[in-house]
Structure 1
């Protein structure tokens, strides 16, 4: 068997098993090709550099306002013992005490902040749609905003933008909400300390600060009202169940549940910072956070240079294949 393989091997010429010399990359030749095409590379680099500079200058400054928040855990501390002691009986009675491993108030409040319903009410209350969807430039001297003339007329308060048939001149709530979530609002939680950073970005630092303060105020109010409604309904329900039972032990449980729900209601009514306490309030930013104009110019220049080199190499190899 070995002799047969050796015969087959000697049946082919030695060059059959050797890699063709043409497949090797000649770095000297590659450098000469790039050098011969240096003017094309320079032209592409300069063109992209100019385009990057113009693009960077055209982008408006974006300012960020942020506030550092701490969770108001008064309610959870008050309810944690009750939830572990009476959670089973409360569930049988149809009452949700919270604190039993479900979503806490802080997590729920963050999700409410991102919700469409909250944004719709927030937008209508403070009339932010024009500042969100049509703002073009902020005057640092007067502090006033100017709007895209083809999008919004601030004097008549009419929307003028041209859109497809499926949309209207005035941005819808869903469209505005997507812009708000993707480009304006950011919420970050420190896993070690539990502190929350709520931030908003806008071309006006004054508007950004206002939005952060309004968001904190409104989310506390919304969660406060929700808790008041839930606890009031729970108290009424427990009182009804209390009237229906004659078992002394169950009456004791209902009295304790009513007492704790009443405490929760009192905390909600007395505490303005119901979910979030402000540790460090938002201030008017003095420096922009973006765009990074220097980085844009550097990346644009590098992209132009790489594109120029690629064009030179492609042209050389295409020409070589045609000549062959």
Structure 2
């Protein structure tokens, strides 16, 4: 073996690659077989469509008056449980993280009954505009899950499975230099990719608006109690100003449909698939077949 290694070190390039030329027709045949396989494989993959939307965060608009008041009141407001700090920046961060949070996504899936199209769909029939469901996963006639237990130990989709499958279809990107948010949704059906994205944006706005309304209502009740218990007129004036700002903030939140995210470019109905890249798949598999056959004949000739 050691002697063979020394011979390989002294071998010329022409001698080294000679087996490739000697077996070139076999290599071409293997590459052709791989190319044919790649075509059938690529054609077997279902089309995936992607809808996108561009959003601008509305965070901080409802807090404009509060921020001004906070600069003059210092830390007094925090004693009442009213947060007047960097509310705009915090709310933007909360909105982005909520978009990807398990609790929000599972609530969205359950609210819109997305379990079947999310887990059981394997394609889309363009002629009938119907989803193609895997009969080994879900029985449409019996309306029940018929697959075997998954790695989560359940026949029906678990929360973990639903969350992971949804996150595979969702993309959330914050464009920092433009302060914009780009969302995209992928699905076999172009109609569902658009519909789900529209529902998703509407849901996050409703979710964040309700959250803000609850916080404002809680602050108002807290301030009312403090004002009643306060004897000093100056302190009452301060807390009354705080409560007035909270009431104004609540009214502004109630009036805004797109409270958290304003739509700049709405979700569109994709006409062309985004995946799979069939040409690239065919090129890669064909190249892989040729490369492996070249390596095989080189190794066999020199060992």
TM-score under structure 1 length normalisation = 0.86
1:56 aligns with 2:42: yes
Taking the aligned partners of 1:164 and 1:180, their CA distance within structure 2 comes to 17
Q: 1:299 aligns with which of 281, 284, 287?
A: 284
The alpha-carbon deviation at position 119 of structure 1 amounts to 1.6
Taking the aligned partners of 1:245 and 1:223, their CA distance within structure 2 comes to 33
The alpha-carbon deviation at position 219 of structure 1 amounts to 0.6
The alpha-carbon deviation at position 25 of structure 1 amounts to 4.7
Q: Write the deviation string for residues 228-252 of structure 1: whole angstroms up to 9, x where unpaired.
A: 1111111111111122222233222
Structure 1 stretch displaced more, 200-209 or 44-53: 44-53
Pair 60,85 (structure 1): closer, same or farther in 2 beyond 3 Å? farther
Q: 1:91 aligns with which of 74, 78, 86?
A: 78
Determine if contact 1:161/1:169 at 8 Å carries over to the other structure. Answer: yes
Q: 2:66 aligns with which of 79, 96, 118?
A: 79
Determine if contact 1:68/1:278 at 8 Å carries over to the other structure. Answer: yes
Q: 1:129 aligns with which of 89, 103, 115?
A: 115
Taking the aligned partners of 2:292 and 2:121, their CA distance within structure 1 comes to 35
Q: Residue 125 of structure 2 corresponds to which residue in structure 1?
A: 139
Uncovered stretches (5+) of structure 1, i.e. residues with no partner: 1-19, 319-324
Pair 80,40 (structure 1): closer, same or farther in 2 beyond 3 Å? farther
Pair 310,268 (structure 1): closer, same or farther in 2 beyond 3 Å? same
Determine if contact 2:63/2:249 at 8 Å carries over to the other structure. Answer: no
Q: Residue 47 of structure 1 corresponds to which residue in structure 2?
A: 33
Q: Residue 8 of structure 1 corresponds to which residue in structure 2?
A: none
Determine if contact 1:63/1:204 at 8 Å carries over to the other structure. Answer: yes
Q: Residue 236 of structure 1 corresponds to which residue in structure 2?
A: 221
Taking the aligned partners of 1:61 and 1:164, their CA distance within structure 2 comes to 25
SS across alignment from 2:172: strand
1:168 aligns with 2:154: yes
1:65 aligns with 2:51: yes
Determine if contact 2:172/2:184 at 8 Å carries over to the other structure. Answer: yes
The alpha-carbon deviation at position 260 of structure 1 amounts to 1.1
Q: Write the deviation string for residues 108-142 of structure 1: whole angstroms up to 9, x where unpaired.
A: 11211211111221111111111111112212222
Determine if contact 2:19/2:301 at 8 Å carries over to the other structure. Answer: yes
Uncovered stretches (5+) of structure 2, i.e. residues with no partner: 1-5
SS across alignment from 1:49: helix
The alpha-carbon deviation at position 22 of structure 1 amounts to 5.6
Taking the aligned partners of 2:129 and 2:252, their CA distance within structure 1 comes to 40
Taking the aligned partners of 1:25 and 1:191, their CA distance within structure 2 comes to 57
The alpha-carbon deviation at position 27 of structure 1 amounts to 0.8
Question: Cα RMSD (Å) of the superposition?
Answer: 1.9
Q: 2:104 aligns with which of 91, 114, 118?
A: 118
Q: How many residues align?
A: 297
Pair 49,72 (structure 1): closer, same or farther in 2 beyond 3 Å? same
TM-score under structure 2 length normalisation = 0.91
Pair 153,280 (structure 1): closer, same or farther in 2 beyond 3 Å? same
Taking the aligned partners of 2:29 and 2:71, their CA distance within structure 1 comes to 73
